Structure 1
Amino acid sequence: MSSDAERRLSALERRVAELEDERAVARLVASYGPLVDSGSAEAVAALWEPGGSYDVDELVLAGHEDIAAMVRSTAHQRWIDGGCAHLVGPPQVTVSGAEATAICHSLMVVRTGGRFRVHRATANRWRLRKGPDGWRVTTRTNRVLDGRVGAPALLAEAQPPA
């Protein structure tokens, strides 16, 4: 094979690997809603690295046990029993080697009085790391989009497409 063909093949392999990483990160982020709405506490926790954290405004969950406990909590189970959906918007994913960031919106929709309404709209920043078991969340930061300064700042971290 010529050196030009080898360079092109190498570049193509690199681009495919980057696309596969972006897809894996987007799929992980998209899996959060169905898992949390089904009450799959261990599966939700497994999205994070063992020492990962989930920063939800005034509450920080640290590690798998805290994250799983949130899903098993009475409050969360009431949301599920009453009807809810955690909708995570398409993430804007940036991969740099074994590190990635995903920026997106999320909505929590709840059933109240026989109707569905948006209960919470948030800005999200997911930081992830690729390890032997694939991509896992190191930190997820949510900020309610209620006029606070921090929420738009998270969304501003999205990088425009190249």
Structure 2
Amino acid sequence: MLTELLARVRRLEDERDIARLIASYGPAVDAADAAAAAELWAETGTYDVENWQMVGQAEVQAMVSSSAHRELVAAGCSHFLGPAVVTVDGDGAIAVCESLVLLRRPEPLPDSKVAQEYLVWRAAANHFELTRGPDGWRITKRSSRMLDGGPRAHALLTRGLRGVPAGDGP
């Protein structure tokens, strides 16, 4: 019984740690903290966004350090990753969530009573593959696809909910 309880506690702690890791992405990139964002990945982990693939922490760090990303931050943006559904299997895990990128409108809409307004710039499905290492959980693969009604995003969501790798499908 004690062994069973310890296993349940460890699984809950793993799920919490993974959810925290995924939730850390938005604040890290919105603060333009390239080192903190890169640290979420395993050293050789990949980040596949539509037709752009980053390999390794250095490429994730370069993306967050880029002038294009810094301009986005300076204009006012929010990368929000919703709650993740996490499936832990030993020292490996799969997680899935949806994300929004909000951009601040430079000028409010006419007759708006709100001083600041934001537009949804991007809505995406996100599938994560993670591994536990000596420093805790790290992303080994993140695949992100626009929620445009097509099969690519739907496949990521379905596979993530089943706790299976993203594969190389649609």
Structure 2 length-normalised TM: 0.88
Distance 2:140 2:63 in 1: 17
How many pairs were matched up? 153
Which of 20, 24, 47 is matched with 2:13 structurally? 20
Question: Following TM superposition, where does structure 1 have runs of at least 4 consecutive aligned residues deviating by more than 4 angstroms?
Answer: none
How far has the Cα of 1:123 moved from its partner? 0.1
Structure 2: unaligned runs, 5 residues or longer: 108-116, 164-170
User: Residues 92 and 159 of structure 1 are in contact (CA less than 8 Å); yes or no, is this contact kept in structure 2?
Assistant: no
Distance 1:159 1:9 in 2: 29
Percent identical across equivalent pairs?
47
Of the structure 1 ranges 141-150 and 151-160, higher mean CA displacement relative to structure 2 is found in: 151-160
> Counterpart of 1:91?
84
DSSP 3-state at the match of 1:27 = helix
> Counterpart of 2:47?
54
Which of 116, 132, 141 is matched with 2:118 structurally? 116
Which of 24, 32, 39 is matched with 2:32 structurally? 39
Distance 2:57 2:157 in 1: 26
Over the aligned positions, Cα root-mean-square deviation in angstroms equals 1.1
What per-residue deviation string (whole Å, max 9, x for no partner) do you get for residues 11-55 of structure 1? 101100111111100000000000010000011001001101100
Distance 2:103 2:75 in 1: 8
Distance 1:87 1:29 in 2: 10
How far has the Cα of 1:64 moved from its partner? 1.1
Which of 141, 157, 167 is matched with 1:155 structurally? 157
Structure 1: unaligned runs, 5 residues or longer: 1-7
Distance 1:59 1:83 in 2: 23
> Counterpart of 2:142?
140
Distance 1:78 1:111 in 2: 12
What per-residue deviation string (whole Å, max 9, x for no partner) do you get for residues 79-109 of structure 1? 1000000000000000000000110000000
Q: Are 1:74 and 2:67 counterparts? A: yes
DSSP 3-state at the match of 2:162 = coil
